[in-house]
Amino acid sequence: MVDLKGQYDKIKQKIDSAIYNVINSAAFVKGPEVTKFQNELSEYLGIKHSIACGNGTDALQIALMALGLKPGDEVITSDFTFIATVEVVALLGLKPVLVDVCPSTFNIDVDKIRKAITPQTKAIIPVHLFGQCANMEEIMKIADEYNLFVVEDNAQAIGAKYTFSDGSVKKAGTIGHIGCTSFFPSKNLGCYGDGGALFTNNDDLAKIISSITNHGMEVRYHHDRIGVNSRLDSIQAAILRVKLPLLDEYCNARYNAAMYYNEQLSEIEELSVPIISDYSTHVFHQYTLRVKNGKRNNLKKHLDDSGIPCMVYYPIPLHKQKAFLQYKSVHECKVSVLLSNEVISLPMHTELSKEQQNTVIDAIRSFFNNM
Ligand SMILES: *Cc1c(COP(=O)(O)O)cnc(C)c1O
């Protein structure tokens, strides 16, 4: 599915010396590499503040803590996403309200958000799934109208761009009140362990966020609020500083690979290739097909048997997950149920060759030709 070794080999010298320099400096935690990385990330994203933390799940949790939400407050998010998005909501004693997604983009359906709003609703967490932005202009309109916070889960779409109807462009993760991302190794900007970050243009929120990541303190041993211990270590920051300047190139490589899959696979009637909305670019964290006529599981088995890597993201909608049955959505999530039965993701990474893609494509063709 990914080729992290192939990617490393091309930047080995720079990475190795960056790691060596950190070890040699012995500034392992909260060193200058972390500060420099935060500044460079802010510049790349066009945002005032980037605050690094331990991982993407922590980033989401810290964002909700920083907003001062109270137990019982409702947080609207997508029924079709990775569990982390909704896990942190439940962990903080907030109530996850799961709403359905759009069949074309797999992202949260804004009409369903409106229907799910109650007097207890305090925040919306749009997830930019698989690499393209949710409909942020509409989401920000709803948030303005109902006085809600917006926390973007940008773990899968760092580098994507959103275009507003007035023509202005913003990077994914910089549109809501707080943006969150993950530097898990397989993400589009991945480090060599765990890492994450939060983004905001709000000076007060930035202060609160950075204090929460560090045991709720701004002045040493003065704990003004309840915090956590969530840090990006300096070695990971040094690695990310080597990789950040390559992010756009990496996103292009993924995009080009996706266009080649599209070109080769769109002729197969029983497949739907990914659809790119007109308001967002797509950085293809995943290349995800829909398989019609109940044939997804058979195609998956055929690819497994042929030694072709493939994955189902995600096989069970959140409202059907055992741990989340108590939050059963009062609103129907027909599309996310449908998608969980239809989606399949193909190998997608920066090192994918045409030859490798042809092997995948041929295996898919042979499945449909023999049906
Ligand atoms: C990966 C991911 C996360 C969590 O990131 P970690 O760094 O693994 O904690 C959260 N949300 C989404 C959508 C993700 O894909």
Query: For 347-368, what is each residue's pLDDT tens digit?
Result: 999 999 999 999 999 999 999 9
Is residue 330 pLDDT above 90, yes or no?
no
Q: Is the CB of 84 under 6 A from ligand 1?
A: yes
- Mean of all residue pLDDT scores within the chain: 96
Name the strands in the sheet holding 343-346, side by side, starting at the edge strand that comes first in the sequence. Answer: 271-272, 287-291, 343-346
Which tokens hold the place of 124? 């919306």
Q: Is the CB of 87 under 6 A from ligand 1?
A: no
Binned at pLDDT 50, 70 and 90, residue 371 comes out as low
Alpha helix (H) residue ranges in 153-295? 203-213, 234-243, 247-265
Q: Which fold has domain 4-245?
A: Aspartate Aminotransferase; domain 2 (3.40.640)
Distance 57 CA to ligand 1 centre (A): 6
Distance 318 CA to ligand 1 centre (A): 15
Q: Which of 248, 244, 251 is nearest to 195 (CA)?
A: 244
List of residues 6+ apart from 362 with CB closer than 8 A: none
Binned at pLDDT 50, 70 and 90, residue 329 comes out as low
| Residue minimizing CA distance to atom 2 of ligand 1 | 155
91, 105 in Cβ contact below 8 A?
no
Distance 363 CA to ligand 1 centre (A): 30
Q: Which residue intervals of the chain bear CATH 3.40.640.10? A: 4-245
Query: For 128-175, what is each residue's pLDDT tens digit?
Result: 999 999 999 999 999 999 999 999 999 999 999 999 999 999 999 999
Q: β-pairing, 343-346 with 287-291?
A: antiparallel
149, 68 in Cβ contact below 8 A?
no
Query: For 207-257, what is each residue's pLDDT tens digit?
Result: 999 999 999 998 889 999 999 999 999 999 999 999 999 999 999 999 999
Q: Is the CB of 77 under 6 A from ligand 1?
A: no
Query: For 40-53, what is each residue's pLDDT tens digit?
Result: 999 999 999 999 99
DSSP state of 236: H
Q: Which fold has domain 247-369?
A: Aspartate Aminotransferase, domain 1 (3.90.1150)
Q: Is the CB of 153 under 6 A from ligand 1?
A: yes
Q: Select from 61, 91, 158, 184 the residue to mutate for testing ligand 1; criterion: most ligand atoms less than 8 Å from CB.
A: 184
Q: Ligand 1 atom closest to Cα of 57? A: 9
CA distance 53 to 214: 9
pLDDT value, residue 167: 98
254, 131 in Cβ contact below 8 A?
yes
Q: Is the CB of 127 under 6 A from ligand 1?
A: yes
Q: How many CA atoms lie within 13 A of 26 on its CB side?
A: 0
Q: Which residue intervals of the chain bear CATH 3.90.1150.10? A: 247-369
